[in-house]
Homo-oligomer: A and B are copies of this chain.
Amino acid sequence: MELQLEARILAKNDRAATANRELFQGHQWRVLNLLGSPGAGKTALLEATLKALGDRPEPPIQLYVIEGDQATDNDARRIQAAGGQAVQVGTGQGCHLEAAAIARAAELLNPPHGSLLVIENVGNLVCPALFDLGEAAKVVVISTTEGDDKPLKYPHAFRAAHAIALTKTDLLPYVPFDRDRFLDCVRRINPTVPVFEVSALMGLGLGDWCTWAMGTATETADAPTVTG
């Protein structure tokens, strides 16, 4: 009974996600869905991405953000303060964003054709992995402070990821995190996913990440699988 209802909720969401995908393609929006624990550094990565995109020589791509949180509009205000456009979606007790809410938020933001639209999901490495939002790619954001075995412990999110951003690399000298062990754990769950190693605080490793995020990198087998 519970499983049937869960299946029904997911099927309803999948229909809305399919509609989103058509909406996004119609507007030529590249849409990324960022998943990660509370405090993994999702918003900080977006702040640093805004800065890095603004510093690039080519005409800057526009970055628009849909922020999902149980409460507060702290993250939308951070994006706006960094020069981006953002809307906040409050989920209350909800543990993830659903496709229907994303359609409304995207239409409210209404980015120009060709924009990059990033959905920052509710801080949660578990539930958001199950809900398709119609995005082009899911990105798992995980920080060096969370431990190197997390891909094995939360395999559903890491398996669903089209890219991984390993954040807070500036803290590597101070935390018990074995980078090789982490990459090995990633490979066991998701053998070909690209991993971008970044420090938003120090502005490190953002070039390759931005190129991938903009969708201008060739997403084939010869894409960088580890880069920093």
* A residues with CB within 8 A of B: 1-2, 5, 9, 37-40, 69-72, 74-75, 93, 95, 122-127, 130, 142-143, 145-147, 149-150, 152-156, 168, 170-171, 174-176, 201
Contact = CB atoms under 8 A, between A and B. Distances in A.
Contacts of A40: 37
B176 A95 contact: no
A162 to B, nearest CB: 19
A102 to B, nearest CB: 18
A71 B150 contact: no
Given A75-B153, A93-B130, 9 more contacts: A38-B125, A39-B143, A39-B145, A70-B153, A72-B149, A74-B149, A170-B174, A171-B175, A176-B201
B126 A95 contact: yes
A132 to B, nearest CB: 15
Contacts of A39: 37, 142-143, 145-147, 150
